[in-house]
């Protein structure tokens, strides 16, 4: 299979400017505190003071509104909402959801689309190796999805197309911020009070629902760390993984 669009440089080349990379597991950390930490690390990385960093963490319950968020997307339950400088629209973060913030100096020429595709590829690879039956991309929609023609083990899961991982990034001075979130064993209650990512004709899911057992964030960190490292290095090729239009069809109500 081929990449969704040809990258600016060979797919087997690292997208990172340097080889050194450090991984940190921060546990549960307040969103604003983590955002401030990201900004600090991004400045240091841009100035060449530190190597690339990848942060694994969870947040207490919070909504974050990206630059394309519409008023109709906003929460109806009174939970705090933080306006952030990443792309995308509104989403939720909370316990049981694994959040990953790569602070990466991108190689020249900077290719933001290829970077996002590599993040998606890493998630798809990690979930496939974990044993998730089928995941991929839906044309025109960001993130990683489970299609409606796959029945989750837990019958409480949606029968529509459902997002299992979300992405939103920012690149400043060639350094990435923000990143991805993977639903592991979190509640889906908080999604009921927003139009998540501006999409109202599909749903969200968790690994726990898809596999019918409790899947923790700690269980997924080693797999995702390995997949991320290989995808960013060019050792894991970006492939199509598109969910065919014929498979999507009208979502059942």
- What is the distance between the alpha carbons of residues 182 and 239, in angstroms, rounded to a whole number? 20
Q: Which residues pair with 65 in a beta bridge?
A: 83, 90
DSSP secondary structure code for residue 118 in this structure: H
- The DSSP secondary-structure symbol of 183 reads E
Measured distance CA(34)–CA(117) in Å, rounded:
24
- DSSP 3-state assignment of 56? strand
Angstrom distance (rounded) from CA 169 to CA 122: 15
Q: Which two tokens stand for residue 151?
A: 């029945």
Query: If you compute the radius of gyration of the chain from its CA atoms, what whole number of angstroms results?
Result: 17
Question: Cα–Cα distance between 44 and 60 in angstroms, integer?
Answer: 26
Instruction: Measure the CA–CA gap between 183 and 196, rounded to whole angstroms.
Output: 13
Set 167, 197, 228, 236: catalytic member: 197
Q: Does the annotation count 184 as an active-site position? A: no
Cα(144)–Cα(162) distance, rounded to whole angstroms?
9
Catalytic residues: 197
């Amino acid at each position: 299979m081929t990449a969704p669009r040809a990258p600016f440089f060979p797919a087997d080349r690292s997208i990172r400017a340097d080889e050194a990379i450090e991984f940190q597991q921060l546990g549960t950390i307040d969103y604003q505190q983590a955002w401030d930490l990201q900004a600090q690390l991004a400045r240091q990385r841009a100035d060449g003071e530190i190597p690339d960093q990848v942060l694994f963490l969870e947040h207490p319950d919070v909504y974050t509104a990206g630059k394309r968020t519409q008023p109709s997307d906003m929460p109806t339950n009174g939970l705090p909402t933080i306006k952030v400088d990443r792309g995308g629209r509104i989403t939720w973060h909370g316990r049981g959801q694994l959040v990953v913030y790569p602070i990466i100096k991108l190689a020249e020429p900077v290719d933001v689309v290829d970077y996002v595709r590599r993040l998606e590829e890493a998630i798809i690879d990690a979930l496939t190796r974990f044993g998730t039956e089928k995941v991929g991309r839906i044309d025109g929609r960001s993130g990683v999805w489970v299609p409606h023609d796959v029945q989750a083990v837990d019958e409480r899961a949606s029968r529509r197309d459902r997002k299992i991982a979300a992405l939103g990034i920012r690149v400043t001075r060639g350094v990435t911020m923000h990143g991805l979130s993977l639903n592991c064993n979190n509640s889906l209650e908080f999604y009921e009070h927003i139009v998540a990512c501006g999409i109202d004709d599909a749903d969200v899911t968790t690994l726990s629902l898809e596999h019918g057992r409790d899947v923790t964030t700690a269980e997924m960190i080693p797999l995702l760390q390995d997949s991320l490292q290989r995808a960013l290095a060019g050792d894991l090729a970006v492939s199509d993984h598109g969910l065919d239009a014929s498979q999507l069809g009208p979502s059942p109500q």
